[in-house]
Structure 1
Amino acid sequence: MRQAIVLVLAALLIGLVGCTPKMKTNTISQFNAEYDRVKGQGYQIQPGDTLDITFFYTPEYNATSVPVRPDGRIQLSLVGDFPIAGMTPDQAAAELKKIYTKELKNPDLAVIVKTFGASAVVVQGEVRNPAQIPLIGNARLLQIISQAGGFLPTADIRNVTIVRHSTGGKPLVTVVNLQDALQGVNPANDIGMLPGDVVFVRPLKMNNENRGGGMPVLTAPSAEPE
């Protein structure tokens, strides 16, 4: 489900960028604040993950390789369906302990993420291999683009658009100049990535006004920060 939402957002972003040369954007500071907020919360369980549920005093109820379904729920004995997506492992363990207290005398348990199925960034546009890139560790924007094969010669690396929807509300949108980041002029533009981020590398635009002969002029569309 989450992957489908991300791909829909990517399609909408491509259409938006293609139709609108100017759009209001968020600041890099807002992106960094959201990054710090999410990282501060710890990892949140997502559809596609698999979990191990370990009971310390009643191991007969242990559950291994439990899949988190697209609807964000898992199936457990004595509990049935449990909505776990969006919780940290510690939060999930605390909630399950409350439920199992009704059935077990010592329901101390731990929730461990065994495999991560939904941590990815979608990269589209003028890169060699547009794809959904697995997000490992504290990867940054240039690293993710490198994993997508790097920029094509037609890429407008001064105007790379990122959409972030981890807020749970209105997505954040920013446009960064990665040429500055590559040259070390403004390394802060190489922002940290979060699961579900969508990156769109625009193509360079040919100036249609230059029709008087000679070589066409390549220009980059501008963006207006909020």
Structure 2
Amino acid sequence: MTFLRRLLVTLFAVCITGCVQHLDPQPHGARNFVPWTNEPVPYRLSPGDTLAIQYTLNPELNENELSIAPDGTITAPLLGTIMAAGLSVATLKSNMQQRYVAYLRQPEFDIVVRSYVGAQIYVGGEVKTQGVYPLKGVMDAMQAVVTAGGPIDSAKLSQAVLIRHRADGRPMMRTIDLRHYMNTADMSDHVMLQPGDLVFVPKTAIASFDIFIDQYLDKAIPFNKTLNYNMGSSVFY
């Protein structure tokens, strides 16, 4: 079973079993998910992101605009080609420092992200325009739905689903009552998004599992594999 199919089966289970604020992994529905936490998730670099590398003791090596190539690599001074995509800034710096030992006595430098081309979110389900959207600045789950054209008549905003990967790559899932947030501005449902988040708005009623698969799997979900979800990764097995 592909990750997309497993994800959609899990979302279906969420829709038919009721709304809970934090979903713990259960054998029948969410066994691939871990308990939700609000800890910040380090941004993982993506192709197209632009970096600056500033060397403390070797300013002649400074790079002010270093783009991550489509294959995920950068060309760093003295080191040549090195993989950057999929890594946090801290991990990339650690990898470079280990390699710089062969060239520099004191490899002291900072890495600054100039632009976050890969900072994206996915909005799907009962919205007007499903798809991948850039995460520009601060955005909450309701703003993401609005960015996708807003909910359609069949949307069940009270059980919107948010999926996020925590720092170790494992997926987390929770539901958000966007209807309650719209009506009351209750901050408990004011959830700020992070790069790679998936927001899914289910239908108000799903007549059968077959209809769900037909509508959401075979016809409706244009899931973009460029989103930072590492499709098919072993963490989902």
Please give the TM-score of this superposition, normalised by the length of structure 2.
0.66
What SS class does the counterpart of residue 183 from structure 1 fall into? helix
Q: Does 1:27 align with 2:30?
A: no
Corresponding residue of 2:150: 150
What per-residue deviation string (whole Å, max 9, x for no partner) do you get for residues 89-118 of structure 1?
A: 455445534432431355432212121122
- Quote the offset at 1:151 in angstroms: 0.9
> Measured at CA, do residues 205 and 88 of structure 1 come closer, stay the same or move farther in structure 2, by a change above 3 Å?
closer
**Structure with greater strand percent:** 1
Deviations 1:55-91 (A, max 9, x none): 3444443334333346654232421333444555455
Give deviations 1:26-82, integer Å, cap 9, x for gaps: 718954x3x3332xx5x4434442212233444443334333346654232421333
Unaligned runs of 5+ in 1: 1-7, 209-226
* Secondary structure class of the residue paired with 2:195: coil
Q: Which runs of 5+ in 2 are unaligned?
A: 25-34, 209-237
Deviations 1:138-195 (A, max 9, x none): 3211111111111112211111112112343441112222111111174312312121
Superposition pairs for residues 1-226 of structure 1, below 5 Å? Answer: 12-18=6-12, 21-22=16-17, 27=22, 31=36, 33=37, 35-38=38-41, 43-69=43-69, 72-85=72-85, 87-89=87-89, 92-93=92-93, 95-105=95-105, 107-184=107-184, 186-205=186-205
CA distance in 1, matches of 2:186, 2:59: 53
TM (norm. structure 1) is 0.68
* Residue type at the aligned position of 1:148: A
Deviates more, 1:77-86 or 1:109-118: 77-86
Contact 2:79 2:100 in 1 (8 A): yes
Counterparts in 2 of 1:168 and 1:105: CA distance versus 1, 3 Å: closer
Q: Distance in 1 between matches of 2:23 and 2:192?
A: 10
| Equivalent position SS for 1:152 | coil
Percent identity, aligned pairs only, is: 24
8 Å Cα contact 2:122-2:199 kept in structure 1: yes
Structure 1 160/9 Cα, relative in aligned 2: closer, same or farther at 3 Å? farther
Higher radius of gyration, 1 or 2: 1
- Cα displacement (A) at 1:127: 0.9
Change (3 A) 1:161 1:205: same
Q: Name the Cα RMSD after superposition.
A: 3.4
